[in-house]
Amino acid sequence: MLLKNNATTSLVIKGEKQPIDNTNTSNRPLTQFCELSLANSSIDASILVALREGISFNKSLKSLKLSGLNFTIANNNTDDNHNDKDNNSTVDDGEDYEWCKSLINKTTLQNLDLSGSRLSASTVTNLSNALFLNTSLQSLDLSRCCLDDQSLSKVLTSVKEHPGLTKLNVSGNFLGKSASTSAVDAVAELLRSNSSKLACLDLSQQQQQPLSEPRRQALESADSLEERVSEKESHQIAFTNALNALSTNTTLRRIDLSGNSSCLADLTSVKAFSSCLLVNAALIHVDVSSCHLTSIGIEYLAQHCIPRCSPKLKSLILFGDESSKKLHGRGCYLPSLFV
């Protein structure tokens, strides 16, 4: 009913543990903004059917937020993206696919937010296939969705040629936390895309993915040190390639890499990052705080990069707390550098 009345422009459905966010909603008519909270955070088939049917009829919906929900597909033994032990969801892969497919023809939908939801590998695949054909989205938020490198690679590849997407948030996932470099490679391809309209990219706060027992045992083996060195070198090359791609990107205005430990701990990474900032003339805001930037790295940036950055770069955050990130104006915020 909410969607079929063609008056609702923003719909929010949250799991019970998610706080209710009433930001900027007080002045909106009730018929335009609707927020629901599910008693059970597992989204079932009936909810997906209602959403799919409502979306197919609705011509007013511009923003859809499904936050803190469980999209894990039932009876899918091959889906180990989260290693769920308790899976009582009644959603099957077919219904999940039909719901994702309904987004393809939804030309009014501009903002899709699934932040904090548990997306199964099947849901990610279905959603990515839909995004390949979707042309209306402007903002996509998949932050804190427990996405591994494989899932992130699918999402990033699916939006590489998207003609309208300007904002992508995949923070708080597991990018670059496995032996594979597929997701980092997909970031590089996204930044190289000549069709992409992406202006804001949030890759911050990538988490350490829990080790599976076979993986833990492998790292404890005699060859683990050599293997880890090889993985580090592979990730270093992939990260440098991504920065090289960013150097030539002309659409991105804001990028957030903050909270990624050891991202800039190596001087080689700092040099690649410095070269990127010297060449890129489009970036306005760059955040690399809490990336383990050493005093040697800071000295290198101070000598070779900061004095020669593009005039368009208004904010370069190297480290600091949240309050420092809210500051505006040109320059670097180094509140604790001399403490």
- pTM listed for this prediction: 0.81
> pLDDT: is 175 or 35 the higher one?
175
Query: Which residue in 198, 124, 190, 146 sits closest to 167, CA to CA?
Result: 198
The pLDDT, as a whole number, for residue 209 is: 66
Asked if the model's pLDDT at residue 332 lies above 70, the reply is no
In this prediction, residues 218-235 reach a mean pLDDT of 67
User: pLDDT digit string (tens) for 275-331?
Assistant: 999 999 999 999 999 999 999 999 999 999 999 999 999 999 998 664 444 433 333
Query: Which residue in 5, 55, 13, 12 sits closest to 38, CA to CA?
Result: 13
Distance of CA 21 to the CA centre of its chain: 20
**CA quadruple 155, 109, 29, 17: dihedral, nearest 10:** -20
Kindly report the CATH number assigned to the domain that includes residue 205: 3.80.10.10
Flag whether 35 is in a domain.
no
Structural domains in the chain (count): 1
> pLDDT: is 12 or 76 the higher one?
12
Handedness of CA 36, 40, 42, 47 (dihedral sign): negative
The pLDDT, as a whole number, for residue 29 is: 45
Asked if the model's pLDDT at residue 153 lies above 90, the reply is yes
Flag whether 19 is in a domain.
no
Contact 282, 253 (CB under 8 A): yes
Question: Three-class SS of residue 183?
Answer: helix
Alpha carbon distance 252, 277 (integer Å): 12
Alpha carbon distance 23, 57 (integer Å): 28
Flag whether 282 is in a domain.
yes
Flag whether 202 is in a domain.
yes
In this prediction, residues 5-28 reach a mean pLDDT of 63
> What residues does 254 pair with on adjacent strands?
200, 285
Between helix 149-158 and helix 182-192 the angle, nearest 10°, is 20
In this prediction, residues 10-31 reach a mean pLDDT of 56
Query: Which residue in 211, 209, 220 sits closest to 183, CA to CA?
Result: 209
In this prediction, residues 23-52 reach a mean pLDDT of 58
The pLDDT, as a whole number, for residue 133 is: 85
Asked if the model's pLDDT at residue 110 lies above 70, the reply is yes
User: pLDDT digit string (tens) for 45-63?
Assistant: 677 777 788 877 778 889 9
User: pLDDT digit string (tens) for 175-225?
Assistant: 998 888 999 999 999 999 999 999 999 999 998 766 556 655 655 665 555
Flag whether 181 is in a domain.
yes
The pLDDT, as a whole number, for residue 104 is: 73
The pLDDT, as a whole number, for residue 268 is: 92
Flag whether 204 is in a domain.
yes
The pLDDT, as a whole number, for residue 158 is: 95
User: pLDDT digit string (tens) for 239-284?
Assistant: 999 999 999 999 999 999 999 988 999 999 999 999 999 999 999 9
The pLDDT, as a whole number, for residue 224 is: 59
The pLDDT, as a whole number, for residue 217 is: 60
Flag whether 263 is in a domain.
yes
The pLDDT, as a whole number, for residue 97 is: 77
User: pLDDT digit string (tens) for 59-94?
Assistant: 888 999 999 888 765 544 444 444 444 444 455 667
Flag whether 29 is in a domain.
no
115 — pLDDT class (breaks 50, 70, 90)? very high
Could you list the residue range(s) of the whole structural domain that residue 305 is in?
Answer: 40-50+62-333
The pLDDT, as a whole number, for residue 91 is: 59
Question: Three-class SS of residue 90?
Answer: coil
35-44, 158-167, 287-296: lowest mean pLDDT where? 35-44
